[in-house]
Every structure is written in structure tokens, then in C-alpha cells.
Chains A and B, each alone.
Chain A
């Protein structure tokens, strides 16, 4: 098996629960106790109300493609092997995530419903991706 050469997330004390859950194939986000908003990416304080009462909560993993592109000429060599679908998915709970859609590029449309899937790119790293629902 060839070595994985794309950039990998380096979890911080703040983000580790997100990546640990992903490794267990669960999607969880922080929810703010002050204003009830779900938050992505993980933070130390809520970007809406600056409360630090943030709790990890499981979320549905359902959402829609807010927009996408097929990257045919990548900005870095590590992504140059083949075209890939980069997308912004809007979760049912509100937040938007940068992700990839695991589907043939010609199948992807703005607005299409998607559901979370997990890509174990190395034994230590799992990326959160989406596939057509």
C-alpha cells in the first residue's frame, strides 16, 4: 500500500474530541450552552456569543451540498493524482463544513442531500466526508 502524502489534521486540545469521534466513525460537534448554536470548526468559545460553555453532541450527519467544485488542477502536488470533488456541506444542524463528496464528479449537484461517511486515510487519521444520501 502506498504512503498517504496529503496533508493530515494535527488535533489540538480543543479539536481532539472531534477527531477521536471521527476515528470511531461518529460525527459530533460542539453545541453552545449560551445560545444553543452548533459550531464548526471546534473552538474554545462560541463565535456567536463568546460563551465558553461548549458541549460535544452527536449530530445527524445529514446535510446538503451548499456548493462544490471538481478540482482538476490542484494547487499542490499531493492532490494532483486525480480530480476530486471539494465541497461545502451544510449540516441539518446549521454549520457548514469543508469536505469531499465520495461520488463520481458528474453526479454531484448543488443542493443534493448527502450523508456523512468516514475515510480512514491512515491508521491514526480519519477524515469526515460525505456521500449521496
Chain B
């Protein structure tokens, strides 16, 4: 059984990320608002929802989270789960929702993520082996892992800081047209990026996501429900998932990521070619993440990501539209909502709701979700049928 065309995204909802958590706001409060908004967007009633997938918010984690959330929302799901694959959780929810629908377990699944940015020391819970063998050496947080990926990529392929910076510059061109982007107030130049503060060599401040508060939601539905939704359905054509490490230290390679098997599986299921894709939404916690994703997804040869981004205009108006919402780098990273922003942007563009940054005649989008330090990968191919 394939998931090709078995379910469609029919509604989206999203907050403009807040740079600091608004007082009195909790993840549950945000999720309740998102649920009301996404039902309204899709034109569905709460009673239509019979599946619930949610990401665990760091700001308010707990056991039996999905049932507690369902109780708060007054939902009676036939399938409920936390999806815990880091930044890939959002993309991972979409194919899991489609699989539940294709298996006849559900008809309409809500995929929800919301979180608050707590300023201060990173308190992300990690497993005991990471506390024992990583933390004593200062391998804490994500910046340093991606910096080591970037250094290795520079060493093996001659990738330059200018090439990586260009990604942030082009995504910002789209962000200034996105009213929901938290960092979309002005354009950037390559010099702006390279003169921003060095955080972890070779990564500069403007190549690194800013943690925010916020969240987003998507409803995935069966063909029967999609027929009566308000929006043009955006069909899941292909999906692939893969992981081969947790800590980057033990990844088989720093420069060849598990994105390749995930993307290959998604394209194979969809039966489409790379050249058919109208826009790509690669998870962008860092500039180097986008560069490696474009290579491992097959848009250019391994090691050619640097020249590729220099040769193409990655903005919404360019010849290779990439993260037309600005990416997380300019949109902001509201916890797992950062990873959902790539999904919602793909859906929004295919629905023809890109407004000032609409990609012309967009019918096929490729979304890639990335968790941890280039660990869990989920690729999705989405289609709007004419």
C-alpha cells in the first residue's frame, strides 16, 4: 500500500511568532486557539476531527499528553499520539495522519504544535548517554553540532561562508513579503550576515534560528472530507523518513545526511522528478542545513551546494523558490512550530494563498523536516491538482 493521494491537507493555522513569550500564555492555550482557527480555515466542525497528533512542548511537558490535550479541547480521537522526532515532528505528523486515514482508522486528523521560548539556560532534556559522553565536553545545544557539519563541508568541498550566507539573504527576500515573519523587517546582504557575531565557528548569528514562542496546526483529511472543505485540497503524494544517529558524533558522515534515503523514498512514492518541483521548503535551523538538504535531496551533486545556491535566486520570485515564508531563519522558531512552518508554507503556496510572495503556478512542493543534529529526517511531496 502506498500513501500516494490517500489524504489531503485542507486547513492551516499559524501564529506570528513572538520573540518573547507573552505573559499568561501557555502551550495549551495556544493549542486551543490553533484548533479553533484551523477548523475555521478548513470549514470543518470539531466533531469531524477523529485523530490527534501533537508535539510535546518543552515549556509544559507531561505524560499521557495527547489524552490530556484531547480533554482540554473536548475531542474524542480514534488515534492519538505524541510525535517525538525533533524538528521533523511536524512533517512526520503529516504522513502518520495520512497513514491512519489510509488504514481506515480516522477521517480527519489535527496535527498540532505550540511552544514558549523560555529565556536562559537550555534545559532540553537529553538521554543519559548524552549527559555522560557529550555534555562534559560542552557538546550542548545544536549550534556546535551544525558548526562542525559546516566545517567538515568546507574542508571536503571548499564550501565558503559567503555561499552559506547567501541562503539567509535570499530567504529574507521572501520574509519581507510575509506578514507573519518575526524577522522580516528589512533585507539582508551577505556582508550583514558575515559581519554578525561569530557564535560557533564558522556559523554567524544571522545563520542561526532565533527561538520564539508560537505554534501552528494542519488538518489532514480523507478524500471524502476534502471534497467539502473550503480550501483546495493539497494532496500528499509521497513521504519518506530516515534516521541513522542521535548525537552527530556517531553519524556515519557529517556531510552525507540521512536526508537522502528519506527524500528518495518520498520522490519514489510520488512518482515525480526533482525538476517537476515548484518550491522546496527545507528545514533551516542553520544555513548549512539548507545547503546539505538541497544536495542530499538531489537538486545538485554532493558538494555542489555552495555553487548551486550562488547560481540560483532562492526567493519566491526566483528560479528556485526555497523557504518562501523566510524559513525559520527569518520566520522564527517557535519550538516544533518552526518545523511546521515549512509544512504550512508548502500547503499555503499550493492553495494559492501566498499573497505578496506567491510562487506562480505552484503545483508541486517538497518539504523536508529535520530533527536533532541532522538526525531524524522526513520528506514530503505535496500536490495541488488542477
Contacts and interface: CB of A to CB of B under 8 A. Distances in A.
A79 B151 CA distance: 21
A6 B138 contact: yes
A98 B139 contact: yes
Contacts, number: 104
B122 A75 contact: yes
Given A88-B249, A98-B133, A98-B249, A79 B138 contact: yes
B147 A88 contact: no
A67 B199 contact: no
Contacts of B144: 69, 71, 75, 86
Given A67-B148, A76-B121, A100 B137 contact: yes
B132 A96 contact: no
B129 interface: yes
A69 B147 contact: yes
B247 interface: yes
A97 interface: yes
A38 interface: no
Contacts of A71: 138, 143-144, 147, 200
Contact of B201 (A15, A66, A72): A72
Nearest to B203: A69
Given A69-B200, A75-B143, A100-B137, A10 B131 contact: yes
Contacts of B139: 86, 98
Interface in B110-141: 121-122, 128-129, 131-141
B227 interface: no
B148 A127 contact: no
B155 interface: yes
A73 B151 contact: no
A66 B152 contact: yes
A59 B129 CA distance: 21
Contacts of A37: none
A10 B137 contact: no
Contacts of B148: 67-69, 86-88
Contacts of A68: 148, 151
Given A69-B147, A86-B139, A110-B151, A41 B198 contact: no
A12 interface: yes
Contacts of A86: 137-139, 144, 148
A11 to B, nearest CB: 8
Interface residues on A, range: 35 or more
B141 A75 contact: yes
B274 to A, nearest CB: 28
B254 interface: yes
Nearest to B146: A69
Contact of B138 (A11, A74, A88, A105): A74
A8 B136 contact: yes
Contacts of A7: 131, 135-136, 140
Nearest to A99: B137
A90 B135 CA distance: 18
Q: Which of B155, B201, B202 has the most CB of A within 10 A?
A: B201
Contacts of B197: 72-73
A119 to B, nearest CB: 10
Contacts of A84: 138
Interface in A96-117: 96-100, 105, 110-111
Contacts of A12: 128, 132
A41 B200 contact: no
B249 A76 contact: no
A72 B137 contact: no
A85 B372 CA distance: 21
A77 to B, nearest CB: 6
A6 B201 CA distance: 21
A98 B199 contact: no
B201 to A, nearest CB: 4
A72 B198 contact: yes
7 contacts: A7-B135, A9-B136, A10-B131, A12-B128, A69-B151, A71-B147, A72-B199
Given A67-B152, A96-B250, A98-B137, 11 more contacts: A7-B131, A7-B136, A10-B131, A11-B132, A66-B254, A67-B155, A75-B141, A79-B140, A98-B249, A100-B137, A110-B155
